[in-house]
Amino acid sequence: MPRVLNLQAPYKIYVEEGDEVSLYYFITDQGTKYSISLIKSLEFDDYPFKDNLYEISFFPDKKSHRSDPKIKETIAAFILAFFQNTENILLFVADQSDGKHHARKRLFDLWKNEFDKNNDFTKLDIIFESEFTGTYYISVLYRNENSFSELIPYALEHGLQKYKSSK
Amino acid sequence: MSVKKFQITIYKNGKKIHEQNNVKENSHFVIVAKKLIENHQLVKGYIRNEKKLSELNAKGIKFTSPL
């Protein structure tokens, strides 16, 4: 029997824990299964916040044609629970495989504005444009009180600084 | 051989804090951003049963459940 997260969310969020894979999921009233994954990123190994940095992804198992506000409320409850550890940092890549990445980015912006009325969070948005593969949106979310709140944006730019100095 | 170029713009709470054009493919930031995007695509592939866990492990991806 999967563990259930103790959250104030419209849909119950379950934890599927295996030896190597841990996934979260919830089932909507329409029967759509949303999987939520958190993975550890090894890309910032040089930085002191590396242990609190997670990449989040969420995917439905089928397309839904009906708007369901409980989905955003459930994902928002999950994200807020994640930030009970005030040191945590969340990375979000807007999936662009179906060409709807602009809409996903806008949705993520709307959620942040809706659920962060007190402006407790900082959001960094990175627009990464490639002449070959198009535009990607990467967002980074963390609490203002995070011990590394000053360092995080610097860390993102650090590569660019290195690039500049090596030219 | 042509050199791939990238553009990177960073916003903090909606305010632009950095913009750079013509960033080369071998710059640190481009390598990091591409890795994050690749991670996302591999995780999606795994959840949709299109990728094997071994492929993700080989890339250093670890699923975790901090909640």
ipTM score? 0.88
Residue A163 pLDDT: 36
Give the C-alpha separation, A9 to A79, whole Å: 11
Chain A residues in contact with B11 (beta carbon < 8 A): 124-127
CA distance B8 to chain A (A): 5
- Higher-pLDDT residue of A20, A52: A52
> Do the chains contact at A35 and B47, CB–CB below 8 Å?
yes
Is the confidence at residue A160, as pLDDT, over 50? no
Place of tokens 């060409």: A99
pLDDT digits (tens, 9 = 90+) for B3-57: 678 888 989 988 998 888 888 888 777 888 888 889 999 999 999 999 999 999 8
Chain A residues in contact with B24 (beta carbon < 8 A): 163
Residue B2 pLDDT: 58
pLDDT digits (tens, 9 = 90+) for A74-106: 999 999 999 999 999 999 998 777 777 777 788
B1 and chain A in contact, CB less than 8 A: no
Is the confidence at residue A161, as pLDDT, over 60? no
C-alpha dist (Å) from residue B56 to A57, A111, A164, B13, B64: 14, 29, 32, 32, 13
Q: What is the pTM of this model?
A: 0.88
